[in-house]
Amino acid sequence: MVRLPTALLAACGLLAGRALGALDVDLDDPESIKKAAALVAEDLLSFYRGDEPGWVPGILPGPPPDGDYYWWQGGAMWGTLLDYRNVMKDDTYDDTIFTALQFQVGDEKDYNPANWSASMGNDDQAFWAFAALIAAETGFRDPAPEQPQWLALAQAVFNEQTNIDRRVEGGNCDWGLRWQVYRTNNGFDYINTVANACYFNIGARLHRYTDNSTYGELAEKTWDLMWRLGYITEDYDVYDGAHLPDCKGINKAQFSYNAAMLLQGSAFMYNATESDEWKERVEGMTKGIIRVFFAKDGIAYEPSCEPPPGSCNADMESYRGYMHRWMANTIQMAPFLRDTILPVLKTSAAAGVKQCTGGDNGRMCGFHWTTGQYDGQLSASLEMNVLGALTALMMPDVAPPLTNTTGGTSKGDPDAGQTKTELPTFSPITTGDKAGASILTILIITGALSAFAWMSLD
């Protein structure tokens, strides 16, 4: 897109008899989509400071109150950019992405760095594993042999989450994956959909990539659990989760990313197994998602928090970008759904782009796509959404995710990850440091209790 001076753009808009968004894009023209997406990627990275001195590589500014974003959204952003770079063939951010994904691996090479223990959920860890999986599936540059490899990182997360000390043993919730990793964290007793759906998704993709059916069996076991508990219903509504001791009294809030990660995982299971059972599930998930999250004129909408006055937090505001990408990925894995999914992605993307008229550059995006108007918000989540929506339009026409036998080069380690989940111990400290350290611990724990009930409605 040629960037015209704002005054001229405004004049053109007037002449055309409509408000002309600065992010004008012809959704039927791949070149036009690419140019618009490049601008949105640039705007997204304008929120990232991790490549500047004094900031931590890999993460967006935060967590609150130090900035708007939690640790997991860094992983979500790199996943978004990895899909973008692969689909649009733009390597501008390769070094930034690579550095970020290696910096946050943590001491045990499992995307569980000690800094974030106080708020570490299985879902948080998984969003970084998703990015590592995309790196493996799209042939992103492999790290040097002595560095952690993409496939092994995803396996480490999966193996740790398979471990019983992250799970419930016995009773109605048996084998449910807990939301939080550590028992000291708020939400350790919440057996929610997002944690289990993340695990399911990683398992389905590891199954297809490695052709090791153990991953698929564990993924299927997880699907069966969520079905039995009623987290996924016969109409393919997807609820948020329930607490111990019995996983009853389900919180019926529906969020687009929960459903979309189940959809994507089902599509990988279908592609790997070609079974009628997974065909039915991926089809059911597709219909459910379109019914629940695109009910308003075919435009992405979060029914559980978006209706006025609106209660979506910064996390919830980012879900639809993932949904668009994972629906597009589903078309690659289950091409029979193309004509059902693609028109929806297009209508919704058009609405997403239309409201990107904000900020100093006149093209920043807001959250409320169905209104057709920019809502005055500025955030990385909102740029990620539109970048995801544009990327999704072209994803079905690029090469499908690689596997170990179709060009994937990422080296795995089936035994990666720690065998036990323990709170990190810090290196021995001198007596002089102790007072300070315990104050720090108190601050961390207080912070965890007050600020970290964030990712789902616990």
Write out the residues near ligand NAG by the rule CB under 6 A: 56, 103-104, 113, 115, 159, 212, 214-215, 271, 274, 332-335, 400, 404, 409, 411-412, 414
Q: How far is the CB of 282 from ligand NAG (least distance, A)?
A: 9
The distance of closest approach from Cβ of residue 102 to ligand NAG in the complex, given in angstroms and rounded to an integer, is 10
- CA 429 from centre of chain: 37
Q: Which is nearer to ligand NAG, 116 or 231 (CB)?
A: 116
CA distance linking residue 160 with residue 120, whole number of Å: 13
Cβ closest to ligand NAG, residue 111 vs residue 236: 111
Residue 10 CB, nearest approach to ligand NAG (Å): 44
Q: Residue 426: is it exposed, middle or buried by C-beta count within 10 angstroms (0-12/13-18/19+)?
A: exposed
Tell me how far, at minimum, the Cβ of 415 lies from ligand NAG, in Å.
7
Residue 358 near residue 376 (C-beta atoms within 8 A): yes
Q: How far is the CB of 272 from ligand NAG (least distance, A)?
A: 8
Closest distance of CB 359 from ligand NAG, Å: 29
Of the pair 215, 452, the CB lying nearest ligand NAG is at 215
**Minimum distance of ligand NAG from residue 4's CB (angstroms):** 39
Q: How far is the CB of 52 from ligand NAG (least distance, A)?
A: 13
Nearer to ligand NAG, 19 or 439 (CB): 439
- 79-398-351 Cα angle (round to 5): 65
How far, in Å, CA of 300 to CA of 348, rounded?
Answer: 6
Least CB distance to ligand NAG at residue 46 (A): 21
By C-beta, is 27 or 398 nearer to ligand NAG?
A: 398
Shortest CB 416 distance to ligand NAG, Å: 9
**Which of 285, 275, 391, 297 has its CA nearest to residue 344?**
297
Q: Which residues pair with 355 in a beta bridge?
A: none
Burial of 350 (0-12, 13-18, 19+ CB in 10 A): middle
- When the beta carbons of 6 and 406 are compared against ligand NAG, the nearer one is 406
Would you say 111 or 179 has its CB closer to ligand NAG? 111
Residue closer to ligand NAG (CB basis): 112 or 318: 112
Quote the least distance from Cβ 8 to ligand NAG, whole Å.
Answer: 43
Q: Which is nearer to ligand NAG, 26 or 51 (CB)?
A: 51
- Residue 158 or 231: the one with the smaller Cβ distance to ligand NAG is 158
Indicate the residue among 264 and 271 with the shorter CB distance to ligand NAG. Answer: 271
Q: Write phi, then psi, for 243 (nearest 5 degrees).
A: -95, 160
Q: Which is nearer to ligand NAG, 28 or 276 (CB)?
A: 276
SS3 sequence of the chain:
CCCCCHHHHHHHHHHCCCCCCCCCCCCCCHHHHHHHHHHHHHHHHCCCCCCCCCCCCCCCCCCCCCCCCCHHHHHHHHHHHHHHHHHHCCCCCHHHHHHHHHHCCCCCCCCCCHHHHHHCEHHHHHHHHHHHHHHHHCCCCCCCCCCCCHHHHHHHHHHHHHCHHHECCCCCCCCCECCECCCCCCCCCEEEHHHHHHHHHHHHHHHHHHCCHHHHHHHHHHHHHHHHHCCECCCCCECCEEECCCCCCCECCCCHHHHHHHHHHHHHHHHHHCCHHHHHHHHHHHHHHHHHHCCECCECCCCCCCCCCCCCCCCHHHHHHHHHHHHHHHHHHCHHHHHHHHHHHHHHHHHHHHCCCECCCCCECCCCHHHCCCCCCCCHHHHHHHHHHHHHHHHHHCCCCCCCCCCCCCCCCCCCCCCCCCCCCCCCCCHHHHHHHHHHHHHHHHHHHHHCCCCCCC
CB of 295 to ligand NAG, least distance (A): 28
